[in-house]
Amino acid sequence: MREQPRWRWQVVGVTLLAAALRLVGLGSKSFWFDECFTYTVTLAPLKNSLEALLVAGIYSPLYFLLLRPMTALAGTSEYAFRFLSAAFGLLSVPLIYRLGCRLADPSTGAVAALLLAVCPFHIWYSQDARTYAPMLFFGLAAMSCFVLLLRGHRRWGSFALYSGLAYLMHYAAFSLLYVQLVHLLPWLRQGRLLRRWFLVQVAAAIPLAPWLALYAIHGIRPAGLDWIPRPSLLAPLYTLWNFTTASAETVTPLVGILAIGTGLVFLRGLYPWDQARRLLVWWLALPVGFLLLLSLRRPYYVDRYLMASLPAYLLLLAMGITARRGGVWRVLAAAIVLAAMAWGTARLYTDPYFAKEAWREATAAVEADLEPGDVVALQDEETLIGTSVYRTREWPYVVLEPGGESGMLKDAAARYERVWLVWRSPRESNHRISKSAPFDIFAEATPPVRAWLAAHREQVALHLQLPGLSVVRVDGRE
């Protein structure tokens, strides 16, 4: 117990480090499309906002409701919209320390807090105006209460509160319900514990029940998931490496060495097998495995949807680092894992690979040279949303309809002096956290658009390639 104050002061320092990593540059990057959606829905009238969330079919409402008073007070800048996620992100650091203490000891908790503080995957989503960092916070709080309940502490009220808030943040948090249920199976003879857990879970889900009922009444199908590609059978390994470095696609000899070393530390964290490790393995493996199996029928597998399982992975790594008392192992294991995370974290701020979709820059490029007699052809409704966030004046625009692009572009070229095209990269990934790679609109747009561009290649006066976006201007009437 004498070591407890020392560990707590170390965690204070780690939390300050986490705050610095999450707040520095918080507003420097443009919103990417999903953040543009957050912006548009949050600033819309409440009725329209809720209708848009329902139509999308994939959102719990709480996060967007919390943003409304925050942005009313702090403004509508990128920094203001992302601050809520950053706040929950840094508050998760002392929370994982507390859980590490409960499952193992203060040293394991402190190491887990350090890993979360420098984890590039968590930093990225703590700088994202989306629900993932808040979901992790409330899910972590709920699991921490669950551990106390297993030990006979009466934390049912707190458990119900944190569970309900997690469910209201994101549907992916319901994975924690299955984790807890599977872990409780050995306690089947203790019917009272299982009954109380079940009743509390029902109570936690009640605030979300009317919202879910609206989906059933209106027969709403989740339209916001159609973009997800089918994952490979190696997807869980990519996910774990993404949790470590936020870069599952970068492969070099050094990356291979760090991946093998981190894997060995993770495996060491599984032993000795006990109730704490059993819970963490279920917490990590069940959501990943279930989402992968579900994706065999229809793709749902995206790493950020597994954010609620990130603490389990980091706690197992922390147990691997502190598994032996010998200083050599601890230093070597910590050095390998921290080197991998530091490599990923450094790239967040320096590598173009981690640029966000440049809606701000694309919109500014159009407005800088938009003249009377111009028209802007937008790829789809999503492109309209992305550009509308940063527009400072009205544009003459047309939203292209699938299958009708050729006719609409031909009509626009006949009526206007110059035609602008704003196009979003069609490349999607289960693992890549940003759509930053420039793409060739002349080769990757839909076939009708490619054909139209090829026919007007000599009239192309501007071709701007930005992270995730292309802007093209075609001069001259047909």
Spell out the long-range contacts of 361-366 with Cβ–Cβ below 8 A and sequence spacing 24 or more.
Answer: 361/30, 361/466, 362/386, 362/387, 362/422, 362/464, 362/466, 362/469, 362/471, 363/387, 363/389, 363/390, 363/391, 364/390, 365/464, 365/466, 365/471, 366/395, 366/420, 366/422, 366/471
pLDDT value of position 233: 93
Residue 318: what pLDDT? 97
Beta strands 418-424 and 397-399: pairing type?
Answer: unpaired
- DSSP states along 367-405: HHH--TTEEEEESSHHHHHHHHHH-SS---EEEPPTT-H
Q: Which residues contact 222 (CB under 8 A, 6 or more apart)?
A: 56, 57, 58
Sites in the chain below the pLDDT cut of 70: 1-4, 190, 219-224, 477-478
H or E stretch covering 157: helix 156-169
Residue 62 structure tokens: 């709480």
Nearest of 473, 447, 441, 471 to residue 460 by alpha carbon: 473
How many degrees, rounded to 5, is the angle at CA 106 between CA 343 and CA 20? Answer: 40
Which pLDDT value is given to residue 325? 73
Q: Rounded to the nearest 5°, which phi and psi values hold at 323?
A: -65, -35
Q: What is the pLDDT of residue 478?
A: 55
Q: How many CB atoms lie within 10 A of CB 82?
A: 25
DSSP class of residue 223 equals: G
DSSP track, 315-350: HHHHHHHTSSS-HHHHHHHHHHHHHHHHHHHHHHHH
Strands (E), 112-253: none
Q: Where are the domains of the chain?
A: 4-354, 359-475
Residue pointed to by tokens 């808030």:
165
- For residue range 17-48, list pLDDT tens digits in order: 999 999 999 999 999 999 999 999 999 999 99
Give the amino acid at 365.
A
The pLDDT of residue 235 is 95
Q: What is the pLDDT of residue 43?
A: 95
d(CA 389, CA 392): 9
Contact assessment for residue 106 and residue 318, using Cβ atoms and an 8 Å cutoff: no
Q: How far apart are CA 468 and CA 358, in angstroms?
A: 7
Cβ atoms of residues 274 and 319 within 8 Å: no
Q: What is the pLDDT of residue 164?
A: 96
Q: Which amino acid is at 33?
A: F
Measured between its terminal Cα atoms, the distance across the chain in Å is 81
What pLDDT does 363 receive?
A: 97
Provide the β-strand partners of residue 399: 378
Q: Would you give the DSSP letter of residue 225?
A: G
Predicted TM-score (pTM) of the model is 0.95
Cα 217 to chain centroid, rounded: 29
- Three-state SS at 293: helix
Burial of 3 (0-12, 13-18, 19+ CB in 10 A): exposed
CA–CA distance, 188 with 170 (Å, rounded to integer): 29
Residue with the two structure tokens 């006066």? 461
Helices (H) and strands (E) in the chain, counts: 22, 5
